[in-house]
């Protein structure tokens, strides 16, 4: 390596440490070392948001990324513990902060839609997204490590799609509910805060949403991947339309003997605030709940087909079920989603 090459490498390293991503790229382009895609970055940045919420039981990072998918303030992001709060905060590219409403989630795709009260915002049109192949050059936009807190731009990584494999949860390997093709990239996106960010082509066309942190438990490797927008488009439209929050069928006959979780052996945490998350505080040893496999610290996400976000929601929804029916629950246990069916006995009958 000659002296001029060494000098150029040193300059690039210094800029990478001291400058935002745009400064690195613009400086390198001025020296003729990179293609000119700064204009793509400038177009995409206003569509990205930073999301702040809850840190979870283990003091995990209380932030992630998202991006606008309508001019009316709809935000697509990942469904995670960060959203275990009444009103997550969404910070726009220009630094404005909003309390967001969690409009709905699809736990099987692990996506959520937030809504902020603002209009005329720049956004990605999901109908205009593209599909990527191996070798597609990409940009990954996200607020990894929460580097941006106000009007600072989100981080940008450049890379290629290395593979388009089929991702499927397998016990002891990957813990994810998403089953389908994903874009694996050589950009290091599997870091705190990156989940929910946008994967685009070099010219800024949307390809996918950066997935949650995911580790292969067999070889301890981390997966840098994005979920294709094509796999999320229908579910996103359904959430915005309100469909996931509706049960598939309502019971027309009045419920005479409603289900009570306490009678099934479930003790929820004390209901001390308006919207206490429905965590399980304890499970009675000889009970339907113990028989079904419920555990302390499980978080109830769905009762039947209905999203529940508080203890009050859980109790209200359980009252729609007649004793003697199976009570389907979707719970989150650590990083895993688990489907449980609670056996509810008819009035007068006790578990043996």
* Claim to verify: residue 184 and residue 279 sit in the same structural domain: no
Say how many domains are in the chain.
Answer: 3
Examine the domain organization and report whether 315 and 237 are in the same domain. no
Q: Are residues 229 and 294 in the same domain?
A: no
Q: Model confidence over 230-269: pLDDT tens digits?
A: 999 999 999 999 875 443 344 345 677 889 999 899 999 9
Q: Tell whether 114 and 66 lie within a shared domain.
A: yes
Asked if residue 206 is part of any domain, the answer here is yes
CA distance 195 to 20: 20
The reply to whether 254 falls in a domain is no
The average confidence (pLDDT) of the chain is 81
Please name the helix (run of DSSP H) or strand (run of DSSP E) that holds residue 106, with its range, or none.
strand 101-106
The helix (H) or strand (E) run that includes residue 111 is strand 111-115
CA 131 to chain centre: 21
Q: 165 and 64 in one domain?
A: yes
> Considering only 71-80, 276-285, 340-349, which range has the smallest mean pLDDT?
340-349
Task: Give the three-class secondary structure for 295.
Answer: coil
Q: What's 41's domain CATH number?
A: 2.40.10.120
Residue 326 domain-assigned?
Answer: yes
Residue 48 has pLDDT above 80, yes or no: yes
Alpha-carbon gap, residue 132 to 306, rounded angstroms: 34
Dihedral sign, Cα of residue 32, residue 33, residue 38, residue 40: positive
| Structure confidence at residue 7 (pLDDT) | 44
Q: What is the DSSP string of 9-64?
A: HHHHHHHHHHS-HHHHHHHHHHTT-S---HHHHHHHGGGEEEEE---TTTT---EE
- Hey, how many other C-beta atoms are within 10 angstroms of the C-beta on 212? 21
The Cβ of residue 234 has, within 10 Å, a number of other Cβ atoms equal to: 12
Q: At what angle do helices 3-18 and 21-30 cross, to 10 degrees?
A: 160
Q: Are 250 and 227 in contact (CB under 8 A)?
A: no
d(CA 29, CA 130) in angstroms, rounded, equals 26
CATH number of the domain bearing residue 278: 2.30.42.10
Task: Tell me whether residue 18 is in a domain.
Answer: yes
**From CA 301, how far away is CA 308, in angstroms rounded?**
6
Q: Among candidates 331, 340, 335, which has minimal Cα distance to 78?
A: 335
Owning domain of residue 25: 1-33
Is residue 26 over pLDDT 70?
no
Q: Are 63 and 153 contained in the same domain? A: yes
pLDDT of residue 250: 40
Judgement on whether residues 232 and 330 belong to the same structural domain of the protein:
no
Are residues 303 and 211 both part of a single domain?
Answer: no
Distance CA 144, CA 72 (A): 25
What are the tens digits of pLDDT across the range 269-279?
998 887 889 99
Q: Are residue 107 and residue 21 in the same domain, yes or no?
A: no
Highest mean pLDDT among 47-51, 135-139, 252-256: 47-51
Are 237 and 292 found together in one domain? Answer: no
Residue 284 lies in a domain: yes
Residue ending a domain, choose from 241, 276, 308: 241
Tell whether 111 and 211 lie within a shared domain: yes
- pLDDT tens by residue, 82-106: 998 888 999 999 999 999 999 998 8
Confidence check: pLDDT of 153 > 90: yes
Weakest mean pLDDT among 18-27, 117-126, 220-229, 254-263? 18-27
Give 17's pLDDT tier (boundaries 50, 70, 90): very low
In a domain, 348, yes or no: no
**Residue 229 located in a structural domain:** yes
Residue 351 has pLDDT above 60, yes or no: no
Q: Is the pLDDT of residue 11 over 70?
A: no
Same domain (yes/no): 188, 328: no
Total-model pTM: 0.68
What's the average model confidence in pLDDT over 183-191? 87
High-pLDDT (> 70) share of the chain, %: 78
Please report the pLDDT score of residue 61 as a whole number: 83
Q: Find out whether 103 and 76 touch, Cβ atoms under 8 Å.
A: no
Please determine, for residue 67, whether its predicted confidence score (pLDDT) is greater than 70: yes
Q: How many CA atoms lie within 13 A of 47 on its CB side?
A: 28
> pLDDT at position 23, please?
45
């Amino acid at each position: 390596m000659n002296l001029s090459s060494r000098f150029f490498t040193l300059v690039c390293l210094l800029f990478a440490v001291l400058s935002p991503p745009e400064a690195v790229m613009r400086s390198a382009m001025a020296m003729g070392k990179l293609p000119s895609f700064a204009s793509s970055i400038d177009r995409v940045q206003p569509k990205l948001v930073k999301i702040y919420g809850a840190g979870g039981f283990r003091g995990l990072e209380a932030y992630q990324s998202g991006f606008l998918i309508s001019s009316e303030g709809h935000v697509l992001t990942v469904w995670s513990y960060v959203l275990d709060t009444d009103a997550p905060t969404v910070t726009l590219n220009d630094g404005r902060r909003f309390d967001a409403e969690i409009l709905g989630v699809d736990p099987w795709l692990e996506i959520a839609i937030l809504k902020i009260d603002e209009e005329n915002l720049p956004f990605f049109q999901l109908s205009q997204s593209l599909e990527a192949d191996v070798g597609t050059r990409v940009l990954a936009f996200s607020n990894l490590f929460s580097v941006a807190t106000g009007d600072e731009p989100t981080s940008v990584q450049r890379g290629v799609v290395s593979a388009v494999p089929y991702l499927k949860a397998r016990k002891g390997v990957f813990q994810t509910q998403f089953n389908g093709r994903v874009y694996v990239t050589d950009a290091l996106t599997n870091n705190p805060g990156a989940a929910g960010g946008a994967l685009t082509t070099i010219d800024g066309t949307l390809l996918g949403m950066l997935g949650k942190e995911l580790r292969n438990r067999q070889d301890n490797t981390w997966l840098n991947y994005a979920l294709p927008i094509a796999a999320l488009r229908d579910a996103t439209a359904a959430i915005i339309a309100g469909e996931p929050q509706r049960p598939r069928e309502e019971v027309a006959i009045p419920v005479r003997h409603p289900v009570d979780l306490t009678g099934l052996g479930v003790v929820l945490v004390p209901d001390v605030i308006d919207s206490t998350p429905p965590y399980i505080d304890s499970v009675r040893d000889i009970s339907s709940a113990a028989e079904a496999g419920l555990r302390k610290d499980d978080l109830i996400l769905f009762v039947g087909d209905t999203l529940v976000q508080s203890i009050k929601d859980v109790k209200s929804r359980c009252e729609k079920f007649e004793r003697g029916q199976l009570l389907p629950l979707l719970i989150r246990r650590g990083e895993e989603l688990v489907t449980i069916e609670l056996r509810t006995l008819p009035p007068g009958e006790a578990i043996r």
